[in-house]
Amino acid sequence: MSQQQPEKRGATTQKTGLISRFKMFLHLHRLEVRNSYVGLIKTPIATLMTIAVLGIAIALPAGLHLMLKNASTVSADWDGASRFSLYLNDSVSKTDAEDLVIRLMKRLDVEEAVLIDKQQALDEFQALSGLGDALYQLDENPLPQVVEIIPTEQFSLPEASEAMLGTFKLMPEVAVAKLDMQWVKRLYYLLQVVDRFIYALASMLGLAVLLIVGNTIRLAILNRRDEIEIIKLIGATDAFIRRPFLYTGLWFGIGGGFFALMIISGSLYWLSDPINQLAIQYNSGYALLGLNMTEVFQLMAFSALLGLSGSWVSVSRHLKQINPSY
């Protein structure tokens, strides 16, 4: 028992020491977070100008992404963008056509299938063509039965639509299967081009944010060069010296993200009324989509990461150039 007590006390002392060091570590980080924030507040004009530049650079690709999302939503509501028309053989009865619709609705790639019988097709043609009186002179209805099919979103892409069209053409009940594939392809590839352009623009502006934050941190390091040399002389490590500058870059990134959100929210508010009025003219209930919570979190995380990364690169480079003389 006398031999186990010292070991127990030693383990307890070591555990207490680790807890104390961890608490001191958190305390120092809290101090650096507060001090870096206070330091930015002491120069409000310069800080606000830097944050505004970062916010504009971040808001531009985010706004274009939002524009693409709204455009995709609008295009998804357009009739005919991904709609198949199956013209049935004259020998297919209405009962067989209804059975075909039931089979089609069981397919995983079909969202909706609607049968337009001969009489319904004739009535629509009479209403739209303006030839109602002339059509009454016909001995029989020349129009075929038609099945209108809307695919699921997953199968609305050009490759999947082409495969579905080939399958529909092989059905014995179908005389002609049509899809405005050229329109679907143009829309799809246009959205792809815009999407890649947004990623390229985001990459370039992200690099610009890194350079802006890095240059700002470089000026801060030069202003405190004498202080850094003294701290290095008394034994401070690069990690200790780097810490306040990293938090400064982080604050710049967070501030730029909030500024970008303000720009995007203000733009949406400014555009919402004319967009709503335009939608009313087309009898549509469309409303502008904003950033959801996931996208807001991604934007803030991305901007904070840019600020932190720019600060890290700059401070790591310039600290190596500061060698105090003894």
Task: Kindly provide the b/e burial profile for residues 233-269, where b requires at least 16 CB atoms within 10 angstroms of the residue's own CB.
Answer: eeeeeeeebbbbbbbbbbbbbbbbbbbbbebbeeebe
In whole numbers, what is the pLDDT of the chain averaged over residues?
79
d(CA 232, CA 226): 10
Torsion of CA 228, 229, 234, 235, to 10 degrees: 70
Residue 199: both structure tokens together: 């990623």
The pTM of the full predicted model, rounded to 2 decimals, is: 0.64
37-57 pLDDT tens trace: 888 888 889 889 989 999 999
Does residue 20 carry a pLDDT above 80? no
Q: Say if residues 148 and 114 touch (Cβ distance below 8 Å).
A: yes
Residue 319 CB contacts under 8 Å (≥ 6 apart), including other chains? 221, 228, 238, 241, 242
Maximal C-alpha separation, the chain: 117
Domains of the chain: 26-76+188-319 (no CATH), 84-179 (3.30.70.3040)
pLDDT above 70: percentage of residues in the chain: 79
Does residue 65 carry a pLDDT above 50? yes
Does residue 155 carry a pLDDT above 90? no
Does residue 280 carry a pLDDT above 60? yes
77-115 pLDDT tens trace: 554 456 788 888 888 888 888 888 898 898 888 888 888
pLDDT at 116: 83
Q: Compute the chain's Rg from CA coordinates.
A: 33
Confidence of residue 1 (pLDDT cuts 50, 70, 90): very low
pLDDT at 318: 77
188-226 pLDDT tens trace: 777 788 888 888 888 888 888 888 888 888 888 888 788
Does residue 254 carry a pLDDT above 90? yes
Q: Say if residues 122 and 140 touch (Cβ distance below 8 Å).
A: no
Q: For residue 266, which of 73, 47, 63, 50 has the smallest C-alpha distance?
A: 63
Q: For residue 146, which of 97, 107, 93, 96 has the smallest C-alpha distance?
A: 97
pLDDT at 9: 58
pLDDT at 79: 47
Instruction: Report helix, strand and coil shares of the chain as percent, to nearest 5.
Output: 75, 5, 20
Between 134 and 62, where is the model more confident? 62
d(CA 270, CA 290): 13
